[in-house]
Structure 1
């Protein structure tokens, strides 16, 4: 007599769990308007942002506010589609991609200058380091304070040459968005000031003493 056996369920369960955990790990933060909550939810993001601050001398709240504006913290964010004759899909309006919406050529400059050839635009650690590097370069090239989120974002959007030529003056919508980025950076700075000591303790300390 044949004994019926149940098919093993361990592998499907493991695969399902991997998919769920993988999705959670890369999903945008649930409360993107609160920098403390972002970092409580994703402590590895805080570690990466703090490392970038130490490396480039860039305050955390500035690139984080810029990233919120650029991608809403979506790892695979893409720019709008371009259309031929107004209705035929024809690629994207630019090569921007990922958390930072970095364009391909600028990203390649970053990898070359930092000797970080394995950097990926859809990895938060690499994206925040790229943005902190860009903020530092903007300070060196155009003399813009690393704490000035308004002018930093104008440089980020228009490029260093475009900023010097003041191309943004022909784009009132961009000036408005840059002011929003500035305000968000100030909000983020105030929030981080209240919770950073806690964040620095790490998740194990918060588990027992938080």
Structure 2
């Protein structure tokens, strides 16, 4: 009987950790309909940093699938036993600890939280802006911006991505998603109330 109770608690715990998304993450109209504040946030980031809304959402979709508590998988000791995580990436933007701290210092946003969508959006805008200043990658160049985002600017300069064919495929996927978002938003129907999607 006690084993049944343990099993029941385990199932309840697992279910409590599973989040149910109420929107189609591949459709920008669906995203903004369920989260109208995200439209305002991403547009404000675009105004502040010049980073396209479609890029922000495509990055977040790829990095965290819009899960605020997203973390990278754990390494496996002896191929079986879960060990430490493969990186310190966390939250919507999957920003690393060091890069996130750089962002907070650079922007003065000392209370920034990687679980906060507004902060994640602003982080992406800040990072892409910095990439443009350092590497002269246009902010509309989704493909190369994603490579720089994933590998870091130093890694991009060293062209480390050329040794990762899988990453080149992912960057193309992110680019296609951003283009899809850009095309979709033209057909979204917005109400005047809080700039939400009908």
The normalised TM-score by structure 1 is 0.81
Alignment of 1:113-132 (within 5 A): 113-132=106-125
The answer on 1:78 being equivalent to 2:71 is: yes
Q: Using the TM superposition, give the Cα deviation of residue 84 of structure 1 relative to its aligned residue in structure 2, in angstroms.
A: 2.8
How far apart, in 1, do the equivalents of 2:195 and 2:142 lie?
33
Give the alignment of 1:31-42 within 5 angstroms. 31-42=24-35
Note the C-alpha offset of 1:40. 1.2
Which protein has the larger Cα radius of gyration, Structure 1 or Structure 2? 1
Q: As a proportion of its length, which structure holds more helix?
A: 1
Contact persistence 2:40–2:195 (CA under 8 A):
no
Equivalent residue of 1:112, what SS?
A: helix
Aligned length: 181
CA contact (8 A) 1:27 1:74 kept: no
1:188 aligns with 2:185: no
Match of 2:167 in 1: 174
Q: CA RMSD in A?
A: 2.0
Tell me which residue corresponds to 1:202. Answer: 193
Cα distance 1:204–1:92, how it changes in 2: closer, same or farther (>3 A)? closer
Q: In structure 2, the residue corresponding to 1:68 is in which secondary structure? A: helix
**Unmatched segments (≥5 aa) in structure 2:** 1-16
Q: Which residue of 2 aligns with 1:3?
A: none
**In structure 2, distance between residues paired with 1:29 and 1:152:** 29
CA displacement at 1:118 relative to structure 2: 0.5
Q: Which runs of 5+ in 1 are unaligned?
A: 1-22
**Aligned-residue offset at 1:203:** 4.3
